[in-house]
Every structure is written in structure tokens, then in C-alpha cells.
Structure 1
Amino acid sequence: MTEQDALPPGYPQEWEADVVLADGMVGHIRPIRPDDAEAIHEFHAAQSEESIYLRFFAPIKRLSDKDVHRFTHVDYSDRVALVMTIRDKIAGIGRYDRLQPGGPVAEVAFNVSDHHQGRGIGSVLLEHLADIGRELGVRRFVADVLPQNRKMIGVFRDAGYDASHEFDDGVIAVSFDIEPTDASRAVRMSREHRSEARSVRQVLHPPSVAVIGASRRDGTVGRAFLEHIVAGGYTGRLHVVNNRAEPGTLIGGLPSRASVRDIEGGVALAVVAVPAPDVLAIVDECADAGVKALVVASEGFAEAGREGEQLQEQLLTRARRHGMRVLGPNSFGLINNDPEMSLDASLAAPEHLPPHGRLGLFAQSGALGVAVLASAQRRRLGISTFASAGNRVDVSGNDLMQYWLDDEATSVVGLYLESMGNPRKFSRIARRLSSIKPVIVVKSGVGKYGTPRGHRVRSTQERPEAFAQMLKQAGVIRAENIHQLFDVAQLVVNQPLPRGQRVGVVTNSDALGSLAADAALSWGLEVVHGPVSVNAEARVEEFRRVVEEALARDDVDSLVACFIPPVASIDPEVVQAVGATVAGHEKPCVATFLGMRGVSPGGSLPTYTTPEDAVRALAAATRYAQWRNSDRGTPVRPDRINRRAVHDLIDAVLERSPRGEELSQEDTAALLAAYGITLWTSVPVSSDEEAVEVYRQMKGTVVLKATSPLLQHQPGQGWIRTGLRHPKAVGAAYRDLKALLEPLGAEGIALQRMAAPGGVTVEVHSSEDPLFGPVVGFGVAGVPIDLLGDVSSRFPPLTDVDIVDMVTSIKAAPMLDGYKGAKPVDHTALYDLIARVSVLADDHPEVAQLRLTPVMAHQDGVDVLGAQVQIAPAPTRTDAERRAMLS
């Protein structure tokens, strides 16, 4: 019988998760099972008398079988228990028991192994129990804690919830609502950041490395890794493992061992270069030897087909079960250029190894890893660290960004992404990283053919433009290719950021000057000085003088310098003169010297082969500097929100329709009202007589509109009759619309009060995307959306600045500002409506689709005239309220 077959009825497998602990190692959290009884006895027996007393308020040497049966047999609703396992041993237990069946209050308790204290296990268990409890209708946790149990009191105190404490009869009664707060979310993200950064640090700063699979033959992958580590001058302990050689055989000058288990003192990082079928056995050996991380260079995993996919899943499961991180498989390796580490555990030939510098690089593909490193080396652009994730089964770009947030050796980050497993988390981390360091991203494969085999990704329903909008929202610099990534990197690594968009242009060629100035204008920069041109045969001093004059001007924020030598070769004195002059000012300069690209020899002046490349990089740096210096706003928190009402409505819908359904107008109005959005009443009518009767009840001017979903995305106004002020007009309009719909097989006509004349018809929508999570969209209804695709998308949680940018970034935005004499719309009311939709989408993943249309935006506010809402079972979000690694 397999472990899967032994699961009890109702076992919630979706609660299982791998989590990075506070010390950077990996633990597995899962619901308790009846077959955990013996493990519970073993766990309890290993605890100290003090720990037992603090948990049970009594010196219980051995738990009774009856107690253990009660602990391990739960209903996963009123009684929930989770265990944290590390290397298949229980390291912690957390549980809650409702005070009343189905009630909103539950008593919570924890027990963490003495051997695993200080790893944040109690905090992780609390996060997961709270999130599970909210899903099941629990609203408040209570706990009785002995005053001397300072660690558990600290878990509750530091979680970010607003907890109350009462001392009674020698016990502290703790009580708190488990609805997430800004503080609890901040705590969770801070802990996640510290844990993941520490985890990656263990990968990049290993005190000892073993190359497993290093061969005596030259030209093999394992031998290449070994030779590069030796040639790079690695400062730690290096070992060789080859189970086909006699122990002690010299390989690359080092004595080999048959197994990593035979290495005295253990190993921190193992580089695995053995055939794919042998990798799982190596993982087990590494676990026995206490290895903390693996670089798996082996091919033949998910990129090779279905069998390889299964092998890759087994690799991940086995490594995480033993608490290890994995870079790969199919990884090109990693580099840490810190002189105190000097680790080149990569397949890059020494001649392609960039020097030590301040650029952190991440690439997924091995082949592109070669191109990335070679390009950095050719441009004399130094790197701090580099990692290739290969098939990205575990360690990802998100993990590296967590590390680079704190890494003082890295000032700029570059990522080449072939796929993205968790864009919601990427956006959150990238926004934080971009606020202190430039982040440059190349993303290949935005279309359906772009994801390489072997990469675990979810499909997306969003347009390719959504990814670019996500990067913009996060302040990330988007590059189209590696060439452009390094064009920008060599500027932002070596020069200060521009203070504004005003540029000067100096040159010794009118043609080059014109090209540079035109490029600057096309990229949205403002040319305020020049082009200033000196004679083509001008001396070095003359060129230095015009550079100095341009940089000295108060109205010049950055400089473009272009030089064509009068003879075939570049005069190094010109390069040195320009570089020295630029170094004397706190302004960036990009330079074009014929045939030169990279960082000037012996200096820090970024050079480009064409003025267009130089200006494109300067424009990217300027836009980034503007984003970084701008007010990025505060998270929107609209008032008059009743989350509980929406929870209850969604639960009722999914109870009667487990696969979900489109809400009725009544339920739609109730859902929107709970978030402070008023939906105008729309009354379905089935005859001209009924339409007239409803009109008489409504009074005033009305509209008749077709409500069939078949017509939802068809442009034009043929499906609506407006300005109806008389019973005869209403009846005639109904008959006319009915006749129009019948040949199409479309049904459904409704009557509604007509909004005040004037204003702009807009649309606000949200969707729960499998990849991105909640996505909110905005546009002007009709031709701008339907024909031109003029829609802006943003990814909650949103700030007030995000929403303003969302509205103003569409091409049709001038229509909202009083186009051709019309009255400007009430932007404040429009922003408020988008904020409410964004919070609704963020709070409730069950809202699969929400579409507010038509929405009349006018000078006195906004009127929501129509809405459709589709409810569906909530997908598993890639960035949920409880920490979990993607699997």
C-alpha cells in the first residue's frame, strides 16, 4: 500500500506545502494522519521535561494511546492539526479545536521539537493554521499559555495580529482575530524574505563543495566543473566523488572518494554531474552526508519527455524531504566572485569568466548562460554572483532577488527569464528590490510557443502585454534581448542615475550628433544642449572642453558623447579624456566610439557602437530613475467593505453549484454592495406589455438593452435603445429589439433607468488568472477596447498611484479629461471604483470574472449600469497568505 492509499477520508492534500525555514533549510508541512501515532510517541519521548510541562501543564512522561488517537484522528474542520516534518521526522505540531462545532472561535496550540527550536517552525504553523481556519469559517484564535513559555508568547506577539492578553489563575489567555492585517502580512513577507535570502546564501557561499561525477577523462561535464572550481581559486574545501574510481585516485589533483558519505566534516554544496537515472541515489547519499544544497547539472529530466518529467518531480520531492535546495536540473552552474569565496562552479570556460564587479546575474538556460557570461566578459562588466536555474525545479529568480535585496556586493540585477512560475511573488519582490537597485529583465517567450520544455509553468488567459505592464508596475527595466540588458547594465552599474530627462549632445560628427539627438527625442528625452560639434580632426583637449562645458550646465541632466576617429583606430587618449572629465561630475554619460562596446578600459565610461544603443540605454535609466524617485503611493483601503457577506454569498453559491456559476443580478448587486459599489437596478422583461408596466413603475427616462452573453463583445450600440420617455416608445423599442435578436438566437432584454446625459462610458473588470492571480483592467468602452485593445492592466494589491497610472496610461485617457469641450469626469470617484474592484479581486479568488459595463463616468461621479460576475472554485494562488514553495 502506498502512502497515497493510506490517506484518511477527507484528507486535505492541498494543505501540504514545502516551506523555507528561518535557517534556510526546507521543511514539509502537512495535515496530521492516523498513521502518525508512532511518530507522535517518538516526538514526545524526545522532548525535555520543561517542554512537556509548558505544552500540557503537567509532567506527562508518556502520552496515552487514547490521547494519541485523539491527536491523530481529526475531522479537518472543527479539529485541525498540522505537522512539520524535516527529513521525515516530526519537528513541530500545531492544532486548533473549535470551541463549538462550526463556530467562529478555536483554541490553538503548538509543540515544537527541542532539537528544532529557533527555526521559525511555530510561526509557520500559526500562519498555515490561521489561513486554513479562515477558509473554514474560523474568525478568532484563543490560547492558554504559561507565563514562563516565552517562546510561544513570542510567536503570538510577533505574528502581527492585534492580540489581547489576560492573566488569570496563573495562565495567560491570548486572543486575536486571524483576519490578515497590514502588520501580519508585513511580518509574513519579512520572514519569507529572511528565510529565502539565507537559503540562497547557503547555495552561493558554501564553505565546502563536492563535485560528484568528476571523471578522470577530460572534456566531461563533471571534470569541467572541477577544473573551473580549481582554476577560479575557490577558498573553501573542495572534494571529488567518483564511485567508479578506486578511493584515493587523483582526479584533477585531488583524491577521490566513492561516496559523499565518506567525506569527513560534511559538505555544504554538492555539484551533481552524473547520468539522470543515478541522480536520485546521489540525493539520498547527500542527505545522509548533511548536504544543504545541490547544483544538478545532469540532463535528461523534464526537457527529455514524460519519463524525465516524473524523474524531475521525484528529484524535487526527495531533495525537499531532506531539507535541501536544488539549482537545476540541467543547470549551467553558479559563480560567486567575492574574493573571500572565488567560486566558479560553472561550465563557463575561464576565458569567458567576467571579473569581480557589482552586477548580479540570473539565467535559466544553460546555453544562454554561456552567452550571458561571455557578453559580460567582452564588455569588461564585472559580476558579483551568477546562477543558472536550468529547468527551475526549485531555486528561481525570485529566490535570487530575495538574496540580492540584502547583498551589499550587488548594486544592479539582471535576469534572463524563459519562464515564470510565480509572477505575483516576482512582482512583489521586484518592486521592493527596484526601489533600491536597478532590476533589468529580459523575458523570452511571451507567446504560447515560448516556454521551454522542462519548465513548470501555469497557463495564462492574459494578453502578452500584461507581462510588460506587470514589470512597469514593479519598476523593472524591460530589455528586449541580452544585448540591451548589458547596454543598460553597463550604464547603471558605472554611472549615477539621471536626475531628469534633459540631455546634452556633443560630437565631432554632425551626422552622429543628429542621430543621437533624434534618438533622444524619439525616446522621450529632452535635448537642451547641442548637438555641439567640434571639428572632425579636433584635438583631445578640444573634445574634453566641450564635454566639460556640457556637464557643467545646470540644465543638463545627462550627456551623450559621440566620437569618430579621423583615422582607422580609436585614439585611447580621447576615451581617457572623456572618462576623466565625466568622473568629475555626478551626471551620467553614455559614449559612442567607433567599434567600441562595453566599459572603457581602465575606467567606468559606458561605450556603445551606435548612438541609438547609447540613447536607448540612457532613456531606460532615466525612466527608472523617475520611477524610483516618484511617490509610489499607499495601498488602497476603501471603507464600507463587508468581506464576511461576500464570503457567505460565495459559500452559498458553491454549495449549490460546486463548479461555480454566473451570479444572478440580485446576487451580483449584493456582492458589489458589500464592497461599496452600487449597481443600478436592471429588470428583465419578456414582452412589450411587461416592459411598459416596469417603465411606469420606474418613472423617468429609461433604456432597453439586450443582455445575451452572445452580444457581450460585439461593438456598436445596436443592442440598446436609449432616451425612452413614453409608454409607446418603450413598447416599440422592445418589439424592435426583439426582432433584431431573434435571427441571432439571442435572448434576454432588460429595462433600466437612463443615466444622466454626457460623460464617458468606461469598463472596469477583474479576473482570476491561473498564472498572475488577480488582474484588474480598465478602458473606455466601445471602439477603444473592442477594436483597438486599449486596456490597462494592473496586479493587486494596488496603491493609489497604481490606479492613477492605470487610468492615465490608456490611449483614450484624454476623453476623461474634457475632450473637445466636454466636462471632465470625476476622477476621484473613478479611482475609488477601481480601488474597490481591486480589493474585491484580491480578497476573493473565487471571483473568476467580474465585468462592470457600462459604467458612466461623468462630472458628478460614476454610475455602474451593468455587471456580470462569474464565481468558480478558488484556484491555488502562487502567492497565498501562507508561505509555501511552489511544487
Structure 2
Amino acid sequence: MAGPTDPRPEPAPYPEGWEADVVLRDGGTAHIRPITPADAPALQAFHVAQSEHSIYLRFFAALERLPDRDLARFTQVDHVDRVALIAVQSAHAEHLDPGSAEPGEPREPEEAGRPGRLDTADPGEPAEVIIGVARYDRITADEAEVAFNVSDAHSGRGLGSVLLEHLAAAAREVGVRRFTADVLPQNGRMIAVFREAGYEVRQTVDDGVVTVVFDIDPTDRSLAVTADREHRAEARSMQRLLGARSVLLVGAARAPEDSALDLVVKRAFASLSRSGTRELHVVGLPETHGHGHLPLQEWWSQPGSAPGEPTLVERWERLADVPRTIELAVVALPPRDVVSVVRRLGPLGVRSVIVLSTGFAETGEGGLVLQRELVRAAHSAGMRLVGPASYGLFDAAAQPPFNASLTEELPPPGSLGLFCQSAPMSVPILASVANRRLGVSSFVSAGHRADVSGNDLMQFWEEDPATEVVGLFLESIGNPRKFSRIARRLATAKPVVVVTAGKSGQVVPPGHAVRATRSPRRTLEEVFRQSGVVRAANTHEMLDVAQLFASQPLPAGRRVGIIAGASSMAALVAEAAAAAQLDHRGRVVWFGDDTPEEDLRASVRDLYRGGECDAVVVVHVPTVGTASPRVVRAVADAAAGSAVTTVACVLGLHGITDALTATDDEGRRWTVPAYSTPEGAVTALGAVVRYATWRSTDRGRPVTPAGIDRNRARRLIQGHLAAAVSGNGPVRLLPADAAELLGCYGVRLWPSRTVAGPDEAVAAAQELGWPVAVKSTASRLRHRADLGGVRLDIDGPDELRSDIAQLQERAAHLGAPYAPLEVQRMAPSGVACVVRTTEDPLFGPVVSFGLAGDATELLGDIGYGIPPLTDVDIAEMVRSVRAAPRLFGYRGLPPADIDALEDVIARLSVMASDHAELRVLELHPVVVAEHGAAVLSARIDLASARRTDTSRRSLPT
């Protein structure tokens, strides 16, 4: 189909940014990329493999093979007016040669063929097969005709919907705004793909053909549909990972005895061989490795496995001999051998792979390239990848428990889901979990998180009935926008406790490929606050908070009672409670060595049942001797089933203990968590109270201001970037251009005129209307009334000429170069504010708000928000700055129009969220009067940008 112009322009460069790995509905993966002429044979093979029915639905005719002319037309596209995307996977059956060398140790001629040996012959990149095609041909400047074709063998995996998302995103980049398609009435599945994507579909029927038309700009519904599909697909992939029933361990056959790699292999074998009914297949380990001699191809019951549930272990000489029923592979090999092995796992049916080996991105550029090859090999074969440098994973809640990690002993089953990126940090975290006797549902260590990340596990834990609390140790966050979106959804149902490497969260350890950020350190804190995430200072505090969430009900409020045996301890708790913003008003129960047990129980019971406490802190630390069992028992019995959140600091007790466990009237067991110090107990309680408050508070609705023209704004931005000399930008917009762009989002820029001297200034003032302000545009004096760069309330020509002379004299005195002047009609008096948005490479759009003035900037009195924002987010951002009282009638001033101010912030947040090209957008000042908010000046810098989180589903790149 011809494009909208003739002759056709030269093809655009291959759009690498359109390539993406995606998770499909069944949890498997595929690679999406633009088609190339070299794909013609694969496209023909794809077509020939389709059923007659599918071919008829696509082409409205029987077509055994694609004619050469059509094949050329389908594969030779310009990536602008004619675009085609294909979904591909590796051709498993075609690249496996049973007689070829196997990856592993270097081949030695005299040892080739020895049992248990692996060889490093790399099969290279396997051939790709096409499993889905999506294309459009432009009809007009903003409309294109689309067509989709999904492999019959891969039907039902969600390929149609994900291809539609990516094709629509590509179309929007080149100015297409609407898709149309001609579909046969019996092709209800394709019509459903369009409608279920969340777009407003219009359809007509003419001559037995259904014509479908829909706009492709994202809508609230289409974005919600995409997020829900992403959630279900990623959760499913983690379910497959943790629920694997058959496992393959591929280890280094000739690693030096007791080397790091040898020890890793031994530990992995020991863990897997105790995993109950799961089948364990082993390749590359000597027969004496791990637990003694094991004949090849002999099923074996491993001693020490669950009673009555033997582990079945089978050793194989080569990967090619392993049965094609493997669900999970665990690999511990030298780095380059890992890539070769992963390429060979696809034919075995492997769905997920855990790489325990190190030696990848943490070693430098060469290792990073190797890590990318590893990810590509896994995703091309439809697998999710955990690692490299992973500590493994386990599912303690499974029956029997499943252990594919390097830990020797699993914690007891419980409700805490744990994620840890670092393998070394997994060791002390799990040791602390064991010391506390804290129950865990599942654990995953992602290592360098080249693929599987904390986002994936949060998706899974949201639906996992065994998990009620989530704890995350994050060394880096590769996609904060996606993290925020997922965490906010999860935190509304289950608490999420996070520790980051470094307070700023900007520490990037070796091995983690993360975009650099220009945002201030407080940005990540705002991401967590908006998302309802509980941020802990360290792993010890994370587990302190997690054990309270896991063992006690959420508090209904901030009122705190104290049970103590010493006044000094009670005072310490009261001070800590005040610091944690808890409400303690003298609600104290005292006990001593001579307090009768009946009196003690009655006092404790009254504290719990009196309705005056939402939480109770118990401190029992005798100066000499041991803690009194009667005190401990009285507290445990009273707390059980009381709905009063309780924490304790009792000498000799730590974590989850039997001593502080009791049963309520319904037979449910409750445990009061024990802490090493009173301050630790109160700190954990304060974090839980803040979370409970966040969860019970209305978080508002996403802001959707009226009067927005996204399409016009996009055309203006693309036009300015196209007209720029340098395509890299940034491009500074002229005031008139900035006003036009802001107008697309309903933000009115107060009129002004740039003048060269007094005569032009007077003429401008006459046009705009008196009184006026005159401002210097010199960078040193702009917005600097304190330096004489601004003169206000000028109500006549003579005063204006005089003020201009003084302003120019002041500029000369300060050595400021000559710059034009700006004349503007005076706005109503009010509070001057600054609203900014910046596009950060890591965080995406970051909105900030503060009152204008150097003091605000110097003191960092600025509130931040990460779009998309709700009305509550914006209200909290305005009120979060310490100078906010000036907006609410401070010391007799009239209250400012907060609604008008919040409307401006809302419009800018939506604008920044819509357009990644807005490198900087600054409104300075925004004068908020008693009625209305006047935007007096705007700076807009444009530059090309790509975000880590977009409207299309994709895995990390």
C-alpha cells in the first residue's frame, strides 16, 4: 500500500529502540523487533506452517505460499510509512546436534567422551523462527491500516495483544494516531484483541467485511489493561520458576577441588537433592561429586530427603541425552560456558534458568557484553533468567519445600516473601531470619538482576496466598517508574519493606547495568512514600519491621500504651514513641517482682480492653536475674486476638518465640515479636503505624485535567526538534513557542514583551496595560529582585524610563553583559512559587514544587512527585514544604488559591508524563493570589529521550 506522499522517502535507519524482550501470557518470553529483508525465508516458513483457516482469515484467500512480490513488500519497509514487527524465538530443534560437542570444560583429545565431561564448543546464535507478525501501512498523515498474524502453534499466549502494544507505540513515534483494519466477521479473535486492549473501537460492516477503527493514544483504560496483562504474565513466569518439579543441575566437571566454583556446585547439589518429589538431573558432575558414587541413568533416593518423598536423581553424560521434560536449570560453570549451555537448554523444555556463576558484568565491559549474550540466549529460548551471580531461590511454603539455593537449612514456612539482589548479602539476611525463627514463604536472589528483578517477585507475591509481607534488599533499581507502579498496587494489600544500598539508592554496584540519574537523592524517597513502601535503614531494621507485620495485626491508630518494670525504661519508650510520631499520654502499666500475678494479669487485661490503646510496648529487662515467665505469659495471653498491636523487649528473647505465643478464643496462634532494644521495638512500631495510616487513607484519583490536546502538543514538540540544528538538543523554546505548547495543556502564560530599550518598553506597556513590571533577561539578574534585576508596579512612562535606567546601571555595576528587557503587565499580588519538571534518565519525569526565593533553594525546601500523580499526591507535595504556611494565611496574609496552584501542578505533571522530550519545564514564578494563579515566566528545553517504563510491555534491556 502506498504511503501518504509520493515519491516515497528514503527508508529510515533501523529503529533499534523498537526491539524488546517480552513476557507472554504463559510466562514464557519472546523477542520483538522490526522486520528486515533477511527475514524473508523465515516469513515464508511462518506462512507455510499456518493452517488454511488462518491464512484465509489473514489474506481473505487461500495462499499456499507468499508470492515473491508480496514477500519482498512485507519484508522491505521504511520504518515510517510502512512498519512491520515480528515476534521471534530460537529454533530449538534446528540448532541441536546430538553428535556435536557439548559446552563445559575445554576439550582434551584423550579425554573426549569420558562420562561426566562437558566441552566448550559453542553452537553459536541459534536460528530464529517467527511466531507472530504485526504491520501497518500508512493511509494518511495520521492513519494507518494494520494487520496481525500469530502462529497457530503459539495461539493463546497473548502475542496479538503484545504486538499491538508495540506496533501502536512505534506508530505514535512517527505521527500515526489511528489504526484501521479490515477483518472478516468470523475472525472474532482479532476484533477482540483490538477491543480488549482498552481502545475505543468503532466498527462498520460493508460487503461482508468488518472495518475496525480506533485511536491509538494511550487511555486510562488501555494503560490499565496493559498493566494488568503485564502483572499476570510476570506473576505466571515467577510461578513457573518457583513451582518447577523437574530440575537440571549443570556443573563444572573439572573445577579445582574446594575452589569457589566447586563449593558452589557441591552446595547446589546438596540443596536440590533434598527437594522432595522433584526430579533432579545432573550433567557435568563427576560420579563421586556431592554424595558418593551414582551410576549413570539410575534413579536414586537421596538420604535426608523428606520422609516418604525421595528425590529422584539421574546423571547424564551430555545435555543432548537429558529428557525433554526439564522445567528449571541451575547452572554453575565458567562464565563463557554458561552462555553456551543456556543456548542448549531450550530443546529440553526449560522454562527458567538460575545462573550461580560470577564473572559477568562486574568484571568490566567484556563481562557486560557476555551478560547481554546470556540474557539474549535465555529470552530467545523462551526462558526467564535469575542471575548471574545469584544465590538461588527456595519455596519454603511448598509441600515438600523446594530448595534451589546455596543455603544449607531452610527457614520455617511462614508469610514473609524475601528478595535479595546480592548473593553475599543473602547469607547474613538468611542467618538473621534463622536467628529470629522468622517464617518465610519464598526467597529469590537475583544477583546482577539481568532479567528477573524485584518487580517480578512483587507481581507474583501480590497473588501468592502464602505471602502476606514482602521484604526487598535492593542494590539498584533499574526501572523506578515500574517499581513505583507495582509497589503501589501491592502495598494496598500487603506491606512492602525495602532496604537500598546507600541512603540515596543511587549506589550502583559492579554488575548492575543501570542508567545514571541527575535527580536529587530525595527522589527515591518520594518514590517510596508515594508507593506506600516502608523504607528501612538496614537489613536488621527491615527484618524488625517485617516480623511485626508477619505476627501482629495492623494498628488502628497512633495511641500507645506501655508495660514496664522500671520508670527509666518507660521514659525511654515514651521518648522513642514521640520521636516516631506516636501518641503516648501516660498509659502505663507498672509491675514489679512483688506484684501478685492476679493483679498483673488484671492490669494488663484492662490496658488491652480499655479502648485507649492501638498499640502496646512491653519492656521487661531485669537488672539481675532472668525475665519473669508470668509477665511474659500475661502479655502473650492478653495480646492474642486483641487487635492491639504489641511489641516487646524482653531479656533473653529475640524474634518469634514460643514464650510470647498464645492462642486466641478462635484457636488462632499469635506471637508478640521480641526485640533486642526498646528503641528497635518502637522504631518498628512507628513504621507499621505509618504504613497502616497510608493504607487506610484515600490515596485519591489520578489527575485528569480537562482541556488537553496531546496530539497538537506532540506535533509541536516533534516540529521543534526536527527544526533544530542538532538532533541531540536540548532545544530552548522561545517565549511564544513555550506559551503555545503550554496552552495545549491549559496552562496560560502571562503575556510579556521583549524590548531593547525605554521607547520599546513604553510601547509594550501601553499595549499590555499598566501597571507593569520590567525584568532583566541576563542570567545573573533574571528573577533576582534582591540584585535589582526586577522592578514592579510601574504605573507610567516616566517611572518606567527611570526604572530601566536604574536597572541598566545596576547591571553594569555587577558586570552583567547586556541583555534585552522583558515587560509584563502586573499580576495580582500573591505568593511566588516555582514548579518544575525534569526528565531524568532513570526516574523519568520528576515534578518539584517550592516557594520562589534563594532561601528555599539553599535550604532544599522543595517537594517532589513522580508522575502519574493523584490529587492527594499533589496536595501532599504542596503541603510538604516547610514554607507552605505562607500559602494558607500566614501572619494575616490572605490565603492563596490552593486549588488553582494544584491545577497548574497537575497539568504540568500530566504534560511531563506524556512527553519524555520535555528535558526541563520550569514555571518561575507562578504567583498564587487570593483568586487564581498567574504563570509569569516559563522555560522549556526539549531533547530526544527514551524512558525505562513506557506504555508497552518489555523486559529490561
- Normalising by the smaller structure, the TM-score range is over 0.9
Query: 1:22 deviation in Å?
Result: 0.6
CA–CA distance in 1 between the matches of 2:516 and 2:339? 29
1:659 and 2:762 matched = no
Q: 3-state DSSP class of the match of 2:411?
A: coil
Alignment of 1:429-444 (within 5 A): 429-444=486-501
Query: 1:543 deviation in Å?
Result: 3.7
Q: Which residue of 1 aligns with 2:395?
A: 336
Q: Which residue of 2 aligns with 1:801?
A: 872
Per-residue CA deviation, residues 167-214 of structure 1 (Å, 9 max, x unaligned), is 222222111111111111111111111100001111111111112116
1:404 and 2:461 matched = yes
Root-mean-square deviation over aligned CA pairs: 2.0
Q: Which residue of 2 aligns with 1:679?
A: 749
Query: 1:18 deviation in Å?
Result: 0.5
Cα distance change of structure 1 residues 498 and 365 upon mapping to structure 2, 3 Å threshold: same
Contact 1:48 1:114 in 2 (8 A): yes
Q: Which residue of 2 aligns with 1:708?
A: 778
Per-residue CA deviation, residues 722-746 of structure 1 (Å, 9 max, x unaligned), is 1222322212221222233241336
Q: Which residue of 2 aligns with 1:240?
A: 282
Select between 317-326 and 744-753 the one with higher mean Cα deviation: 744-753
Query: 1:618 deviation in Å?
Result: 0.8
Query: 1:502 deviation in Å?
Result: 0.9
Query: 1:784 deviation in Å?
Result: 4.3
Contact 2:421 2:474 in 1 (8 A): yes
CA–CA distance in 2 between the matches of 1:481 and 1:620? 13
CA–CA distance in 2 between the matches of 1:563 and 1:169? 85
Q: 1:71 aligns with which of 41, 51, 74?
A: 74
Q: Which residue of 2 aligns with 1:152?
A: 190
Per-residue CA deviation, residues 688-716 of structure 1 (Å, 9 max, x unaligned), is 33223322333311111122334569794
CA–CA distance in 2 between the matches of 1:35 and 1:310? 24
Q: What is the one-letter code of the residue matched to 2:241? A: V
Q: What is the one-letter code of the residue matched to 1:266? A: T
Query: 1:477 deviation in Å?
Result: 0.5
CA–CA distance in 2 between the matches of 1:746 and 1:878? 42
Q: 3-state DSSP class of the match of 1:527?
A: coil
CA–CA distance in 1 between the matches of 2:342 and 2:818? 61
Q: 3-state DSSP class of the match of 2:595?
A: coil
CA–CA distance in 2 between the matches of 1:712 and 1:766? 19
CA–CA distance in 2 between the matches of 1:674 and 1:9? 29
Select between 325-334 and 544-553 the one with higher mean Cα deviation: 544-553
Q: 2:601 aligns with which of 532, 544, 556?
A: 544
Q: Which residue of 2 aligns with 1:272?
A: 331
Query: 1:427 deviation in Å?
Result: 0.2
Query: 1:127 deviation in Å?
Result: 0.8
CA–CA distance in 2 between the matches of 1:416 and 1:819? 43
Q: 2:269 aligns with which of 219, 226, 230?
A: 226
Q: What is the one-letter code of the residue matched to 2:899? A: T
Alignment of 1:114-513 (within 5 A): 114-213=152-251, 220-231=263-274, 233-242=275-284, 248=295, 254-350=313-409, 353-447=410-504, 450-513=507-570
Q: 3-state DSSP class of the match of 2:344?
A: helix
Q: Which residue of 2 aligns with 1:868?
A: 939
CA–CA distance in 1 between the matches of 2:271 and 2:940? 58
1:92 and 2:132 matched = yes
Cα distance change of structure 1 residues 314 and 508 upon mapping to structure 2, 3 Å threshold: same
CA–CA distance in 1 between the matches of 2:853 and 2:593? 56
Query: 1:783 deviation in Å?
Result: 3.6
Q: Which residue of 2 aligns with 1:3?
A: none
Alignment of 1:494-533 (within 5 A): 494-533=551-590
CA–CA distance in 2 between the matches of 1:261 and 1:572? 63
Query: 1:150 deviation in Å?
Result: 2.2
Per-residue CA deviation, residues 539-592 of structure 1 (Å, 9 max, x unaligned), is 554443332111112221111111123643223443233112100311111111
Contact 1:19 1:883 in 2 (8 A): yes
CA–CA distance in 2 between the matches of 1:715 and 1:229? 71
Q: Which residue of 2 aligns with 1:562?
A: 619
Contact 1:636 1:799 in 2 (8 A): yes
Q: Which residue of 2 aligns with 1:781?
A: 852
Q: What is the one-letter code of the residue matched to 1:636? A: V
Cα distance change of structure 1 residues 214 and 822 upon mapping to structure 2, 3 Å threshold: same
Contact 1:804 1:831 in 2 (8 A): yes
1:761 and 2:832 matched = yes
CA–CA distance in 2 between the matches of 1:420 and 1:678? 37
Contact 1:259 1:285 in 2 (8 A): no
Q: Which residue of 2 aligns with 1:855?
A: 926
Alignment of 1:558-707 (within 5 A): 558-565=615-622, 567-601=624-658, 603=661, 604-657=671-724, 658-660=727-729, 661-707=731-777
Aligned residues: percent identity? Answer: 46
CA–CA distance in 2 between the matches of 1:541 and 1:623? 35
Per-residue CA deviation, residues 80-123 of structure 1 (Å, 9 max, x unaligned), is 111110222100111111224xx222111111111000001111
Q: Which residue of 2 aligns with 1:835?
A: 906
CA–CA distance in 2 between the matches of 1:803 and 1:374? 42
Q: 3-state DSSP class of the match of 2:379?
A: helix
Q: What is the one-letter code of the residue matched to 1:610? A: T
Q: What is the one-letter code of the residue matched to 2:837? A: S
Per-residue CA deviation, residues 284-336 of structure 1 (Å, 9 max, x unaligned), is 22123221111101011111222211211111111111111111100111111
1:730 and 2:800 matched = yes
Q: 2:149 aligns with which of 102, 105, 111?
A: 111
Q: Which residue of 2 aligns with 1:12?
A: 15
Contact 2:235 2:456 in 1 (8 A): yes
Cα distance change of structure 1 residues 348 and 714 upon mapping to structure 2, 3 Å threshold: farther
Contact 1:679 1:866 in 2 (8 A): yes
CA–CA distance in 1 between the matches of 2:756 and 2:281? 82
Query: 1:608 deviation in Å?
Result: 1.1
Gaps of 5+ in 1: 1-6
CA–CA distance in 1 between the matches of 2:601 and 2:361? 57
Query: 1:528 deviation in Å?
Result: 3.5
CA–CA distance in 1 between the matches of 2:750 and 2:78? 44
CA–CA distance in 1 between the matches of 2:796 and 2:244? 82
Contact 2:476 2:505 in 1 (8 A): no
Q: What is the one-letter code of the residue matched to 1:323? A: G
Cα distance change of structure 1 residues 724 and 323 upon mapping to structure 2, 3 Å threshold: same
Q: What is the one-letter code of the residue matched to 1:472? A: R
Contact 1:326 1:394 in 2 (8 A): yes
Cα distance change of structure 1 residues 22 and 745 upon mapping to structure 2, 3 Å threshold: same
CA–CA distance in 2 between the matches of 1:290 and 1:746? 72
Q: What is the one-letter code of the residue matched to 2:282? A: V
Q: How many residues align?
A: 874
Cα distance change of structure 1 residues 413 and 340 upon mapping to structure 2, 3 Å threshold: same
CA–CA distance in 1 between the matches of 2:38 and 2:935? 55
CA–CA distance in 2 between the matches of 1:714 and 1:457? 38
Q: What is the one-letter code of the residue matched to 1:453? A: P
Gaps of 5+ in 2: 1-9, 91-127, 289-293, 304-312, 662-670
Per-residue CA deviation, residues 466-521 of structure 1 (Å, 9 max, x unaligned), is 11111000000010101110111111111000101111112111111111111111
Query: 1:595 deviation in Å?
Result: 4.2
Contact 1:534 1:542 in 2 (8 A): no
CA–CA distance in 1 between the matches of 2:502 and 2:451? 20
Contact 2:475 2:505 in 1 (8 A): no
